[in-house]
Amino acid sequence: MESYKSPNDINAYYYDRKIYKINQLLPAKDRYNFEEYEEKSFDELLLGLNDSINIIMNYHNNIANLPKAIEILRDIVYHKDFHILPIFNDIQFAQSFFNVINIQSSSMTPTFKHCLEIISNIWYYTSDLSSPITNENIVKAVVRFCGSTNQKEILPYAFFAIANYCGISLEARNGLLSLNIFSALQKYLRQSTCKEPVRSGLRLSLNLMIHGVEDIWSDIRTLIPISRCHIQHVNKCNRELAAKCLNKILNFPQTVQDCIDMQVHIKLYETIKQYKYNNYVFGSALLFVHHGFDEIFTTLEFVQIIHNHLTRLMKSSDHQSDDLTEINQENANYSEENELNCGKDYSTLFTLISKLLPKIHEILYELNTFNLIIKIAREGTFENMTAAAFCLSNYIANAPIQKAAEIGRNGGFEACINILDSDTDSIILENLHAIYILLNFDGVTFIPLAQNNELENILNTINTENQECQEKIAIIHEILNPKE
């Protein structure tokens, strides 16, 4: 019996492109309000700005009025219409605000927390270190609070602010490294499992790695067990942040064995099994496979997990739970009439399947998983459709011909045609190859399908300088227009 062939090198660019995309993360800068407050109009808030600034500038004579002034400033920086106002780039204001922070830190009042929220949101909008509000004294003060052991209630605010500062630039990150921020961060993340503290710490962890980990590997290595722990955090935002951290770590080949030794791949497996789909979590699995560690992801149980994820993704669901153990009943209620849940990006799942195909194709075939992939390849959003169709073309090009033809007849052939307008030569070539195989094997079935889907017109619109693509296009034209 003909066996599944090993995919050739034309897939390499597609996988490299996907790995590159996984790791193109923006700094985790954010505005986050730890407490609810009444939203006012921005113009109304600005009416109190001048008085608040004057109180801060003359804080020695206005200690009693500082809390109200800080509260007004806090509401301003949280407003949806907020932008960096000229006063925040004033040297005198920056110095006065630094002094206010130091005064308020001694009492640990809500006003001090508001000060940290203000500086955090200003740093969120700051794009470089030229502003006085990013001066070294203010940064050192906030870092000092990050190392506090008896002021746990303010730590989430301090780390949230430092994470925003770290996300400004590489220069900002290097400045924090010189202040030994890693020591405080490691201790902080080891001591807390609560939602907000973990979120603040993971955001800083990610921003420390956003410019690469090669130069800080000795410090980053200590974050592996922390990310491994929080990859299973009950809060999905924290799971995603932990996965993003792992993706940055795993992008550095020398770290992969360390992650294996610390059993990160096992925790990742358990997360995929327990929780709803997340692109970054599956991205971590893809990176393990990309580096050759795929054994745990090719088991029958894991392929069944993949199939179950696809089944759930085929339908819209307003279920609030994120734990799959609480929503398994949804599978029993699945109906083909349910609307395809095509708004979410789950392209990484299909890329992972494509990468694992040589070892799991038989299980996928037995589970009828390809029928789910076909539906998404024909009805999904562009990113999902492209990734799903690439998965199908990969299978068709390398599977035993009878099975490949079956997938083609079930809709895989049309799916391959649908993404020939891709701007990536490797995707075009893989789909052209799959189309050629099917046309060459069963022209009676697939030539009429090609005509119904206007394949020739699509081929004529493909703009590629790739010689292999051009040759394959010419061959397909000959099949569609045989000489008498």
Does residue 327 form part of some domain? no
DSSP secondary structure string, 397-460?
HHS-HHHHHHHIIIIIHHHHHHTTT-S-HHHHHHHHHHHHHHHHH-HHHHHHHHHHTTHHHHHH
Residue 267 included in any domain: no
At residue 404 the predicted structure's pLDDT band, cuts being 50, 70 and 90, is very high
Averaged pLDDT, 329-349 = 57
Mean pLDDT of 86-95: 90
| CATH code for position 478 | 1.25.10.10
Inside any domain, residue 407: yes
Between the alpha carbon of residue 212 and those of residues 97, 225, 226, 354, 429, the distances in Å are 33, 19, 18, 27, 33
DSSP string for residues in 172-234: HHHHHHHTTHHHHHHHHHHH--SHHHHHHHHHHHHHHHTT-SGGGHHHHGGGHHHHHHHTT-S
Please report whether residue 53 resides in a domain.
no
pTM above threshold 0.75:
yes
- Which pair of structure tokens corresponds to residue 457? 């017109």
Tell me which residue range forms the domain holding 363. 298-317+345-483
Over residues 107-133, the mean pLDDT reads 87
What's the Cα-to-Cα distance from 142 to each of 154, 217, 426, rounded to whole Å?
Answer: 10, 25, 49
State how many domains the chain has.
1
Domain assignment of residue 461, yes or no: yes
**Span 427-436, mean pLDDT?**
91
Q: Answer whether residue 354 is part of any domain.
A: yes
Output the pLDDT for position 11: 57
Per-residue confidence band for 7, with pLDDT thresholds at 50, 70 and 90: very low
Is there a contact between 111 and 67 (Cβ–Cβ < 8 Å)? yes
- Is 472 a domain residue? yes
The answer to whether residue 437 sits within a structural domain is yes
